[in-house]
Structure 1
């Protein structure tokens, strides 16, 4: 489900009522623990947390006009999604997250490469997400991005 909005505030207003509280709590946990240097913006039709061009002028290799993405959150049709590039790019963070997840909720982990899907909004492991936000800083993300993804 893509919300047709242009700003973070419009996105928040458009989130369906049944998940609004959980979505806003997820956003607040991210903002409270956001690595220094990341900025909140709209990114790919979702709320994104990106490395701005002021810090990383090269931008995203797929489209250098865009800032380098790191984290996104979205209200999808049947779930709330958290996209975290560190989970995708760093095997240690991935392994840590998979190991820790069952300690924070009894709901089975529903995860893609970088996407964690939360279908039971009352079961979102906010404390775990708070910890995840502290696992990688902007400098580490840029270094890992350049090593693994950026076209040379």
Structure 2
């Protein structure tokens, strides 16, 4: 009788071992699935880092372009102001008689403002640095007639 009891105990233990082996195999499958998920997450994390890096570079380029646009607008406003001043003085010239002494004064003032506009536009035509009438700021040596 003892042999059959031992045999029954051994069979029971074998059954328990089989169940434990099944649980171990299931656990190994779950561990493999977790490792696969970790690998996928690492890949996605790398893609996100690459995308973030590209986005940061794009934002830096956009910021530089925005600053350049602002500088351009400032220069345009400055140029526009000077051009309006030239136009305003041009209207004054049209209202004066050429024999009037003030016409010559306004004409010289106009010439100076036009040169200033050209200088800011980096186009100074008709003047060379070897010309003795050119001053250091690029304007001509004309003065007002009193």
Q: What range describes the TM-score normalised by the shorter chain of this pair?
A: under 0.3
Q: So what's the TM-score if we normalise by structure 2? A: 0.21
Higher relative contact order (CA 8 A, sep 6+): 1
Higher helix share: 2
Q: State which structure, 1 or 2, has the greater radius of gyration over its C-alpha atoms.
A: 2
Q: So what's the TM-score if we normalise by structure 1? A: 0.21
Higher strand share: 1
